[in-house]
Amino acid sequence: MEGSSISVGLDIGTTKIVAMIGRKNDYGKLEILGIGKSKSLGVHRGVVNNITQTIQSIQQAVQEAEVASGEKIEEVTVGIAGQHIRSLQHSDYITRANSDLVIDDDDIERLINQVHKLVMLPGEEIIHVLPQEYKIDGQAEIKEPIGMYGGRLEANFHVVVGQVSSIRNIGRCVKSAGLELEGITLEPLASANAVLSQEEKEAGVALIDIGGGTTDVAIFRDGIIRHTAVIPFGGNVITEDIKEGCSIIEKQAELLKIKFGSAWPGENKDNEIVSIPGLRGREPKEITLKNLSKIIHARVVEIIEQVYVEIKNYGHEEQKKKLIAGIVLTGGGSQLKHLKQLVEYITGMDTRIGYPNEHLAGDSDDDVTSPLFATAVGLVMDGLKRKEKRVAEKVATEIFESQQSSEIESEAPIPEPRKERKSFLDKLTERVKDFLDNAE
């Protein structure tokens, strides 16, 4: 099987690193061929802080995925998250030299490039510039300006900003693990693609991906991404609190959280007790489940309240911006018992747990459809989309060239193939690649 039709997503998380290999089946659904998972040791709050350990973890996950699928992994699509990601709204305009011509890709490219000249804080770079809606000569709420006449083209943009060094470090880890960087994607966007339906994105929805080190938020309305944020807390701080609160070691705290933890203390009876073996020759500890839930509850409330601040920042309370589809929770942290009820209680918004099965083939394994893998599935989809785009461009160019070379005197001129506008992330990927090649 030729390698071009498979794609590999690499999710470099704080708790785990996942390599996932997938391809499209005959029905256009995503088929996962293999998964590799390793413990992530060199990442803190979504940011690489130990290159060597991260490289080892990446290699381990990739090897496991190769064995599971029988495919060789050469290029990967990587997700970026981390506490350094922030987003802002910005509007900009250009004045067109010739308003007798219709607006085309080049005009939009010019407008987007202008946004890239925004002055950022030192060390920050613009990762995504996502147009929200356009205005032409003062006429507002235009979704697709291409093909229209006008002299002044304006747009509102959702601009996502991140730290250059963090992105380069991720590129470095991937390259040193012997892999090529195929693309870079913002993790909240990847998770959203894997978990949300088009209807939800239209109606208005907030996707909350609770990972180990960070909680990613992506808000959609009218099918367009409106707001993104990364909150520097996740499941790990809950484990940390249990460890401190119960004076036990981390491994035990994590198991307690997963097996017995609940976000709603009222659910536990007073007499439910778990006994935890003491360290070497010490007495076992007895912990009441009510106390465990109280510790978890306190921290989860804090995370949800921060998420709710982001939802309000987006403007959910305005009638026009209401998120009708409410909240979708995904990521490993979304598997906490009674979390859905607590989120509904705090925000008053409809909530569901999101499984990444929106685009997966029907016969996928249960473990693939776990919320744990939402980001990885989204990254695979993103990689496949990039490959399809490249193939389409190549075909269009070949047809164009072959038509030109055959000396058929036809009356109508052959239209040039339309070059796809490179998204900034593609450019960023190229820049990170160049930087790494020159830095060796």
Contact in structure between 236 and 258 (CB atoms under 8 Å): no
Taking only the tens place, the pLDDT of each residue in 277-297 is 888 888 899 999 999 999 999
245 in a domain, yes or no? Answer: yes
256 in a domain, yes or no? Answer: yes
293 in a domain, yes or no? Answer: yes
Q: Is the pTM of this model over 0.85?
A: yes
What pairing do the DSSP bridges indicate for beta strands 215-221 and 224-231? antiparallel
273 in a domain, yes or no? Answer: yes
How many other CB atoms are there within 10 angstroms of residue 353's CB atom?
15
Q: Which domain holds residue 284?
A: 235-299
266 in a domain, yes or no? Answer: yes
Lowest mean pLDDT among 4-18, 264-278, 373-387: 264-278
Q: Look up residue 87 and give its amino acid.
A: S
69 in a domain, yes or no? Answer: no
Contact in structure between 48 and 24 (CB atoms under 8 Å): no
130-136: Cβ within 8 A, 24+ apart: 130/157, 130/158, 130/159, 130/160, 130/224, 130/225, 131/155, 131/156, 131/157, 132/89, 132/156, 132/157, 132/158, 132/224, 132/226, 133/224, 135/93, 136/103
What is the residue whose two structure tokens read 């976000």? 263
Q: Look up residue 103 and give its amino acid.
A: I
271 in a domain, yes or no? Answer: yes
276 in a domain, yes or no? Answer: yes
The residues facing 32 across adjacent strands are: 22
Taking only the tens place, the pLDDT of each residue in 153-179 is 999 999 999 999 999 999 999 999 999
Query: What's the pLDDT score for residue 266?
Result: 84
Domains in the chain, number: 1
* CATH number of the domain enclosing 274: 3.30.420.40
